[in-house]
């Protein structure tokens, strides 16, 4: 009966190891996905970050990149800790899981908070950023972002094309008589911004609503990725403590081995080959006599 119990526990331990290994493999893949989303946000959409007065949008992306890297490292560490059965590694693994969990929750919360504040921020700052910094020295990132924004979303100005009447650049001689930047034109040619006829420029709508919708969609992705991976980790939190519990396959303690040896000696003495005597006060531990 005892042998059956030990065998059953061993099978359970092996199954748990492979379950944790499979989970860590998918966890590693998820880490790659999280990191990819963060890098994609920073690399492909970084032009528009310069149009935002708050750094929250970029901060959430950086958090995802860091979390993704840590997740991938943790996934490898988890596999090693599982098969080598080293409790120290499992403790480090558990701590890293907790750190990742917190990072992803923070990223998700920041994305949600900024999602709520984005509309007000754009209304307060986008027009000022476009009119005060466009084509100004040292503001090349803003200039490139505005030109890309107006061409990609087929819009002109923050609210509409009349916003450019307040532009420092439009008022200066550097504009060469332009009424709007050339990027407002439906077909870009040199100095096309001199003519603001509806057939020539995007007069129908401004860029603020389109930029807001664009960033909000990406904030949804960032928040969903962060919260989803954090929820998946809850299962790992449950598996790691179970794996850390000593199983019947682990080496027995010295006291247990000594007790077993004594019992074997006692059995040996019953055959008449050797006498044994128990130590005072000890029922299990015996020593040979003579």
DSSP of 147-171: HHHHHHTT--SSSSGGGGGG-HHHH
Can you tell me the mean pLDDT for 250-258? 39
pLDDT for 238 equals: 65
Q: Which residues pair with 276 in a beta bridge?
A: 288
Q: How confident is the model at residue 132 (pLDDT cuts 50, 70, 90)?
A: very high
Flag whether 228 is in a domain.
yes
Flag whether pLDDT at 87 surpasses 70.
Answer: yes
Flag whether 56 is in a domain.
yes
* Residue count of the chain: 290
Flag whether pLDDT at 252 surpasses 50.
Answer: no
Residues 167 and 149 in one domain: no
Residues 32 and 142 in one domain: yes
Residues 179 and 71 in one domain: no
Flag whether 250 is in a domain.
no
pLDDT for 236 equals: 63
Flag whether 249 is in a domain.
no
The parent domain of residue 7 ranges over 2-153+208-244
**Cα R_g (the chain), whole angstroms:** 34
Flag whether pLDDT at 164 surpasses 90.
Answer: yes
Flag whether pLDDT at 155 surpasses 80.
Answer: yes
Residues 27 and 144 in one domain: yes
Least confident of 130-134, 169-173, 195-199: 195-199
Residues 166 and 126 in one domain: no
Mean pLDDT for all residues in the chain: 77
Residues 267 and 132 in one domain: no
Q: Tell me the C-alpha distance between 29 and 229, whole Å.
A: 11
Least confident of 55-69, 120-134, 208-222, 224-238: 224-238
pLDDT for 277 equals: 44
Q: How confident is the model at residue 241 (pLDDT cuts 50, 70, 90)?
A: low
More confident residue, 249 or 240: 240
Flag whether 223 is in a domain.
yes
Residues 200 and 213 in one domain: no
Flag whether 196 is in a domain.
yes
- Tell which phi-psi region holds residue 156, choosing left (phi > 0), alpha (psi between -120 and 50) or beta: beta
**pTM (2 decimals)?**
0.68
Q: Where are the beta strands (DSSP E) in the chain?
A: 275-278, 286-289
More confident residue, 113 or 251: 113
pLDDT for 240 equals: 57
Flag whether 259 is in a domain.
yes
More confident residue, 196 or 3: 196
Q: How confident is the model at residue 239 (pLDDT cuts 50, 70, 90)?
A: low
Residues 232 and 182 in one domain: no
Residues 133 and 229 in one domain: yes
Residues 92 and 148 in one domain: yes
Q: What is the pLDDT of residues 93-105, one digit of tens each?
A: 788 888 888 888 8
Q: Encoding tokens for residue 136?
A: 């100004």
| Number of structural domains found in the chain | 3
Residues 94 and 226 in one domain: yes
Cβ(62)–Cβ(40) under 8 Å? no
Dmax over Cα atoms in the chain, in whole Å? 118
Residues 113 and 36 in one domain: yes
- Those residues with Cβ within 8 angstroms of residue 174's Cβ, 6 or more apart along the chain or in another chain: 135
């Amino acid at each position: 009966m005892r042998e059956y119990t030990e065998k059953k526990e061993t099978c359970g331990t092996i199954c748990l190891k492979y379950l944790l290994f499979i989970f860590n493999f998918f966890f590693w893949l998820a880490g790659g996905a999280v990191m990819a989303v963060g890098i994609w946000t920073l690399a492909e959409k970084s032009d528009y970050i310069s149009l935002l007065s708050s750094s929250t949008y970029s901060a959430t992306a950086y958090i995802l990149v860091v979390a993704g890297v840590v997740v991938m490292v943790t996934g490898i560490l988890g596999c090693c800790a599982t098969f080598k059965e080293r409790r120290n590694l499992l403790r480090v693994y558990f701590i890293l899981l907790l750190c990742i969990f917190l990072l992803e929750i923070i990223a998700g919360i920041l994305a949600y908070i900024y999602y709520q504040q984005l509309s007000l921020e754009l209304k307060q700052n986008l027009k000022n950023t476009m009119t005060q910094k466009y084509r100004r020295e040292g503001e090349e990132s803003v200039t490139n972002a505005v030109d890309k924004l107006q061409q990609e979303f087929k819009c002109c100005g923050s609210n509409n094309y009349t916003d450019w009447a307040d532009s420092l650049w439009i008022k200066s001689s550097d504009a060469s008589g332009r009424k709007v930047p050339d990027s407002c034109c439906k077909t870009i040619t040199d100095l096309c911004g001199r003519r603001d006829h509806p057939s020539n420029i995007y007069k129908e709508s401004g860029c603020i609503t389109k930029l807001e919708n664009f960033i909000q969609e990406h904030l949804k992705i960032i928040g969903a990725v962060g919260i989803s991976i954090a929820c998946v980790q809850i299962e790992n939190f449950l598996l790691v403590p179970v794996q850390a519990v000593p199983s019947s396959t682990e080496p027995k303690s010295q006291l247990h081995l000594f007790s077993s040896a004594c019992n074997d000696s006692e059995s040996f003495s019953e055959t008449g080959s050797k006498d044994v005597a128990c130590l005072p006060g000890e029922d299990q531990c015996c020593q040979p006599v003579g």
